[in-house]
Structure 1
Amino acid sequence: MASAARREPRAPGFWPLAVVFGAFVLFLYGPMLAIVVLSFQGPEGGLTFPMRGWSLHWFRQLWEGIGVIDIGAALRRSLGLGMLVMTQTVLLSLLAGLAYRKRLPGGAPLFYVVVASLIMPSIIVSLGIGLMFRLLDSGVKLALEAWSPEALEGFTTTLGMFSSGLGAQLTWTLPFGLLIMFAIFNRFNPAYEEAARDLGASAWQTQRHVVLPLIAPSLVGIGMFGFTLSWDEIARSSQAMGDLNTLPLELQGLTTTVTTPVIYALGTVTTAISFAVMGLSLALVALWRRRG
């Protein structure tokens, strides 16, 4: 009672700011919550409120398939591509961050080239990558025609999920990974490395046993960032995936043809996977810090 009596009153601007913040959170997460709720409707459910019963009907229909689109295959493709993008983003961001710790010849122009992909419209980047690989197709066909006409019959295109598609998504994830690594190493205390060298550790041992364990939680965060950016990428992938689509591209196509809550069920599943990846990343960070 006494502590409550001594509590300072709220500032005059607290409640107006609280209302604005609440409205912002509702605007940010309200649509997602509405989709999750509507995905649990009964067989007579529609795309809008009010709810018409509760069931797992639309999840069962999603499992059985949606028309001619193989959602399971698209899901597996997105997971595989997302894992590869995550691995490449962590590895290349780490190597670039280590390289930029010292004076790197041509480092400034290289940095601006990498970050420039964040400024350019995503669809322009996708069109440029698609055009580049189509020009590459022309060169490959000329080379095959000259050296091995038999192989030309089996060649289709160099465009693909793990060639042009991977490159398109890395233009989106790598700049973020590089900027995060800059922030990490700007706060890194070099005294730990100096102490390791004073104790006789080599450069490789210092990196392996001192630097990497200290920045490991941040690398997990970069990996989570890379996966989630790849998982829902559409614009940069639209012209660079070739014949096979990722799950977001299939979902974009379904929005014009599917008129039942099954599309909400698909959105709920993809959102659950995103939250699962984020939860796993946070658990790994917490485990690493506990071990440290």
Structure 2
Amino acid sequence: MPGRVARLLLGALFGAFMLFLYGPTLTITILSFQGPDGGLTFPMNGVSLHWFGRLFQPQAVGDLGAAMTRTLLLAAMVTATTVVVSLAAGMAFRRRFAGSTVLFYLTVASLIVPSLLVSLGIGLMFNLMEWEPAWYSSAFGAQLTWTLPFGLLIMFAVFNRFDRSWEEAARDMGATPWQSFWHVVLPIIAPSVVGIALFGFTLSFDEFARTLLTAGSGNTLPLEILGMTTTVTTPVLYALGTVSTAVSFLVIGGALIGMRLMRKRRGI
């Protein structure tokens, strides 16, 4: 009996935590379906898709369509670069080389430097070099200082317990180093590579501090939302939150489906 009570209490505590964690998102999702005359609070004034339609219309302040496009393109660039560089670095760090320790600590150090200082430093560098900051250059580099360390740490953990005998078996059968990597190593570590891609996308998609002083005149979605909250007081922001959350879930769902298809193809 005491064990059952303890399980019930722990279950209730977990349920309360999940409600605290996802309650705001659920509230925003519900309020995004307000009627045309609805406001930002309960009770709802009708139910409609009016505010989702307003997302694609000119706003009083800002351009949500362009901001969303920039954000998705930037997230795709950051994701691809993070995956490629992390995978290459993971392979390289399997063997010691001159400067590897210094390079490792320099990479990880960007995690402990305040995000705003990273943004400020990159913005000042572009200013001193008389380069025009933009979301596709300075903001891209700033976000990589956030995503690459996570990707590298994942790759280090994966290769730390990787059985090299699989590669040796492939070499014994006449495979070249590239064939060994492509047909043996990459299929085994594919779930970790997908995880790095998800990390890169999600960290870039909602990154604010490292983009604040590096995006130039083209705002990303988080910066656009910040500007709108000071002037716009309509449920269009809730609709935007619902759409962005749906995009995140679609990306995660697509990654999970891709992993399942890869495992099915390998016969696991």
TM over 0.5: yes
**Residue of 111, 114, 118 corresponding to 1:121:** 114
2:62/2:227 contact within 8 Å kept: no
How far, CA to CA, are the matches of 1:126 and 1:273 in structure 2? 26
**1:47 corresponds to:** 40
Per-residue CA deviations over 1:167-226 (Å, capped at 9, x if unaligned) read 001011001111111121122211110100111112121112111121122212211210
**2:51 corresponds to:** 58
Gaps of 5+ in 2: none
**Residue of 110, 127, 130 corresponding to 1:134:** 127
Alignment of 1:75-86 (within 5 A): 75-86=68-79
1:67 paired with 2:41, answer no
**2:167 corresponds to:** 193
Instruction: Identify which range, 121-130 or 100-109, moves more after superposition.
Output: 100-109
CA apart distance, 1:10: 4.2
Per-residue CA deviations over 1:223-264 (Å, capped at 9, x if unaligned) read 121011111111100001111111111011111111111110
1:30 paired with 2:31, answer no
**Residue of 227, 232, 237 corresponding to 1:253:** 227
Please give the secondary structure, in 1, of the residue aligned with 2:59.
coil
How far, CA to CA, are the matches of 2:257 and 2:161 in structure 1? 23
How far, CA to CA, are the matches of 1:19 and 1:193 in structure 2? 48
1:217/1:289 contact within 8 Å kept: no
CA apart distance, 1:67: 1.9
1:265 paired with 2:239, answer yes
How far, CA to CA, are the matches of 1:162 and 1:58 in structure 2? 30
How far, CA to CA, are the matches of 2:112 and 2:34 in structure 1? 41
CA apart distance, 1:119: 0.9
**1:281 corresponds to:** 255
Please give the secondary structure, in 1, of the residue aligned with 2:55.
helix
How far, CA to CA, are the matches of 2:16 and 2:84 in structure 1? 39
Instruction: Identify which range, 45-54 or 21-30, moves more after superposition.
Output: 45-54
How far, CA to CA, are the matches of 1:72 and 1:12 in structure 2? 51
**1:180 corresponds to:** 154
**Residue of 75, 81, 99 corresponding to 1:88:** 81
CA apart distance, 1:9: 8.2
**Residue of 210, 218, 231 corresponding to 1:236:** 210
Provide TM-score, normalisation by structure 1. 0.88
Per-residue CA deviations over 1:38-59 (Å, capped at 9, x if unaligned) read 0001112111112221101111
User: Runs ≥4 in structure 1, deviation > 3 angstroms?
Assistant: 8-12
Per-residue CA deviations over 1:29-80 (Å, capped at 9, x if unaligned) read 0000000000001112111112221101111112213124221111111111
Provide TM-score, normalisation by structure 2. 0.95
Instruction: Identify which range, 268-277 or 212-221, moves more after superposition.
Output: 212-221
**2:196 corresponds to:** 222
Gaps of 5+ in 1: 1-7, 138-156
2:170/2:184 contact within 8 Å kept: yes
How far, CA to CA, are the matches of 1:81 and 1:223 in structure 2? 13
- How many pairs are equivalent? 266
**1:109 corresponds to:** 102
For the structure 1 residues 201 and 267, does the alpha-carbon distance in structure 2 shift closer, same or farther, using more than 3 Å as the test?
Answer: same
Query: Identity over the aligned pairs, expressed in percent?
Result: 60
CA apart distance, 1:12: 4.0
**1:5 corresponds to:** none
Instruction: Identify which range, 65-74 or 197-206, moves more after superposition.
Output: 65-74
